[in-house]
Amino acid sequence: MHDFPILLGVVVLLALAFDYINGFHDTANAIATSVSTRALKPRHAILLAAFLNFSGALASTGVAKTIGGDIVKAASLVNSEVIIAALFGAIVWNILTWWYGIPSSSSHALIGGVMGAVVVSKGWDALNLSGIGKIILSLVLSPLVALVTGYIVMIVLLWIFGRYAPYALNNGFKRMQLLSASMMSFSHGSNDAQKAMGIITLALLSAGQIPSLEVPLVIKFACATAMALGTAAGGMRIIKTMGTKIFKMEPINGFAADLNSSLVIFAATLLHLPVSTTHVVSGSIMGVGSAKRVRAVHWNVAQQMLYAWVLTIPLSAIVSGIVYKIISWL
């Protein structure tokens, strides 16, 4: 086994920092609906999300293997400098979008960061285009699927429960939101924490520290802990956007959005596909809102979010490419 280099330690620390930032950046995905409908107090919702994010992060490693194995053609084509640059690009984008309350995708930022650093260091031929195509397809299709299925779930719930008085309906679904928020938090951890696991595992493999692309148990616990701590730190800026600015939700809408989002993310995790929980939840909220009334959705906010989604991969790639050049000069 090779000596554990300092740069590899920096990779691990940056990956855990990314996971921590991902936790508070994406906390809103799991709890925005339950907070906006007053089903849960913000602090209680955040602590619930932190615990279930941790539990979900330990559930599997299929997504981690996809992230670690499908972006570059071989682990030998990357080194610690490349991964440091990739993580730096993703972290910068996450912090900027969190600061301005824009619910952008941590997944897109990480993938863009890796692509930018790899292209600058090794050229386009180092990229596994078929693997990247599969990843991007899952990222693009998942919010569209969530929008359609969110619409269907909301229609079914209205058909079943629409005859009940609004007061009774709201009280009932406020209690049900504890279940849907829990499912959403667990599913978020099961998919998102694995992205940092995949990056660390790729770095360990490329440095000769492990024999194959299998996530070490200590890395699973470290990433799960980092995401849980980040989630516990909260993300009220994005909660405001996700919970109130897309459309005004009642408890039944919040339940439908969380239930639908968690099922879409669970399906992706079982297929070992990385998805953006931000995009999935946004798609679900738009679909649920459209079922209530198409004009109830603030499509101008959705348009602003779409711009952020489109720009995330290229901008994080540019940042990571610049960082790699700076590291090379140093």
CA distance readout (Å), 321 to 95, 105, 114, 164, 247 = 18, 19, 9, 57, 38
Looking at residue 245, what is its pLDDT? 55
3-state secondary structure of 301: helix
Band of the pLDDT at 3, cuts 50, 70, 90?
very low
Looking at residue 1, what is its pLDDT? 40
Q: Report pLDDT digits (tens) over 15-73.
A: 999 888 888 776 666 777 787 778 888 778 888 888 898 998 888 778 888 888 888 88
Rounded Cα gap, residues 143 and 133, in angstroms: 16
Residue 293: exposure state from Cβ atoms within 10 A (0-12, 13-18, ≥19): exposed
Residue 201: exposure state from Cβ atoms within 10 A (0-12, 13-18, ≥19): buried
Whether the CB-CB separation of 180 and 210 falls below 8 Å is answered with no
Whether the CB-CB separation of 36 and 92 falls below 8 Å is answered with no
3-state secondary structure of 165: coil
pTM for the model: 0.84
**Mean pLDDT score of the chain:** 83
Rounded Cα gap, residues 19 and 8, in angstroms: 17
Looking at residue 67, what is its pLDDT? 81
CB-CB neighbours of 26 under 10 Å: 31
pLDDT at 325 over 60: yes
Looking at residue 196, what is its pLDDT? 87
Q: Report pLDDT digits (tens) over 201-227.
A: 988 888 888 888 888 999 999 999 998
Rounded Cα gap, residues 223 and 53, in angstroms: 10
Greatest CA span in the chain, whole angstroms? 68
CB-CB neighbours of 179 under 10 Å: 13
Whether the CB-CB separation of 63 and 104 falls below 8 Å is answered with no
What sections of the chain are H helices per DSSP? 6-36, 42-57, 62-70, 80-99, 106-122, 129-161, 166-206, 217-233, 236-240, 251-270, 277-292, 299-329
Q: Taking the domains of the chain in order of start, what are their residue ranges? A: 6-325
- First vs last C-alpha separation in the chain: 27
Q: Report pLDDT digits (tens) over 60-111.
A: 778 888 888 888 888 788 888 888 999 988 888 888 877 776 666 777 888 8
